[in-house]
Amino acid sequence: MAPDLKSFLTTDLFKLMVETWLPLSKTNPIDFGKAIQYVFFESSEDYIKVRDKAWPALKALSELGLDNIPDMTTFLPPVEDSDFPIQALGLQLVLDQAPRVLLQGVDTRWTYAYFGEIALRYALQLQSLPANLRPVSWARWESSVSLDYFVWVRIFFGAPIVHHEKMGATVAAFTEETRTLVEQQLSVRDPYRAQPEKRWDLNGFPKMLMARGPASPCGVAEGTFWLLCLMDVHKPPLDKYGRYPYQNWRLGRVGTPEEDTWMEKAGGIFGPPSEEVVRKIREDVENGIWTPIGISSK
């Protein structure tokens, strides 16, 4: 019997996800230096508090199979509803972010090969709505939140596109739209526009992670442009290799010598947890099977 997804994908879960991933002021200025440190480098223990509500949702979705995933917008209020944008964001966080926190070891394959596909479909579905109704548009948020907060909303709506290996061109369009909005709202210009050696650095992604972001205090303009550059530097590996080298082990692939060299230059920040995990994922892929989530951690 198919699981009753409506009992798992609830308004309470969606709002909990937003509160957990964006514990930021919706109206006051945000110190992007501190926010970036929290979101990317310090928040993993806080994220675990969503487990009781998010894990059953992920488990239920995993039992359906990609061909049987329903229209995810049916779990949201009507698109015209004022609560639609925040609930849409919460559902996106369930699909794209919760797996990254809750699925470890062999389960990591599910994050990229399964939930990554669902999250991307959903993100593109939201993007296909009329411009004035898209939950990723400034028009849906500007009466209730600051530009500072909205930037983080945009970043998380765009994350599934960045995470997917087939969306390089779409990512570039997404970051450009976000960059232009902030430039126009604040009458500034993104300095990274004049620094292609940083935006399109083949090793820029691990370099930026190892640098750990801008120092505090950091305002919305500087912080936004750093975040957008972090998204942009995902593209050079796709242009060169056609895929992300750091996803190879997660998807049961064998890296090429060039990709292995790229991984070495990344300093081990994307390394696999153990040879046993790599072997098991590869065996599952070769045999066309999936180890159910939660099994490998028992």
Rounded average pLDDT over 261-287: 91
Rounded average pLDDT over 174-191: 98
Classify residue 294 by burial, with Cβ atoms within 10 Å: 0-12, 13-18, 19+.
Answer: middle
Residues 7-53 pLDDT 10s = 999 999 999 999 999 999 999 999 999 999 999 988 777 788 899 99
Residues 97-108 pLDDT 10s = 999 999 999 999
Query: For residue 3, is the peptide bond before it cis, meaning its omega torsion is within 30 degrees of 0?
Result: no
Q: Using 50, 70 and 90 to split pLDDT, how confident is the model at 216?
A: very high
> What pTM, to 2 d.p., does this model score?
0.95
Q: How far is 147 from 149, CA to CA, in rounded Å? A: 5
Rounded average pLDDT over 169-177: 95
Q: Using 50, 70 and 90 to split pLDDT, how confident is the model at 297?
A: low
pLDDT value, residue 2: 60
Do the Cβ atoms of 293 and 59 come closer than 8 Å? yes
3-state SS record for 186-210? HCCCCHHHHCHHHHCCCCHHHHHHH
pLDDT value, residue 135: 98
Rounded average pLDDT over 198-208: 96
Residues 248-272 pLDDT 10s = 999 999 999 999 999 999 988 887 7
Mean pLDDT for the chain overall: 95
pLDDT value, residue 296: 65
